[in-house]
Amino acid sequence: MTEKTINPSLQLILDIAEKLILERGCRNTTLQDIADQGGLTKGAIYHYVKSKDELFGLILEAGLQQTNRRFMESVSDSVSQKTSSRGPIELLARRLHALSDGSNAIGLIFIYLLSQKDKPAIAEILNRYYATSIQMTQSWIEVGKQHKVIPEQVDAEKAAKMFAIFKNGLQIQNLVSLESGHVPDDEIYVFVLSALGIKDV
């Protein structure tokens, strides 16, 4: 997975891929299917990625970037409007909840790639996804500290790694235990507060 600017053409490819993944699953979605749905050639897709797996990695990365944008916008809104900082934390809790949902393409891609971690190219995609996720979470924690919402003594790196474990666990839990249902939003919200040593805001 490499750093790429998500331009409108690439965004169209990512959107079509997500739609097909939800309809057919990761294994049954091909680059040809994506090209056909978008009225594109496979060459247009190969302009951005070398393989289906790399395209799936881009979807994971785009999901992180979107969450990061929304979080920073929510923080900015809270600061400018001098409102409660509950908004950014609720946003993160909702994002964690969405990842545990079987109808979420990002969760399906994560499980699909995880099942093939023995392939070096896929291991690299997953390692980068993990590292980027940790880095973003650390930055969110540092922003929370700057705004006096998160206690100064919270170790941002350790907390970020624990969140990664929790997030990955939610994604896998849905796959192995459908009968148990999803963890409710409010329980995830309470977990986030507790993990960061925050009293309800």
Q: Mean per-residue pLDDT for 149-169? A: 86
Between CA 173 and CA 19 the distance in angstroms is 22
46-105 tens-digit pLDDT: 999 999 999 999 999 998 888 888 888 887 877 777 655 566 777 777 777 676 666 689
- Homologous superfamily of the 51-195 domain (CATH): Tetracycline Repressor, domain 2 (1.10.357.10)
The ranges assigned to domains in the chain are 51-195
Intra-chain end-to-end CA distance of the chain, in Å: 37
| 52 phi/psi in degrees, rounded to 5 | -60, -40
Q: What is the pLDDT of residue 60?
A: 93
- Residues 45 and 35: beta-carbon distance below 8 Å: yes
pTM over 0.75: yes
Residue 2 banded pLDDT, cuts 50, 70, 90: very low
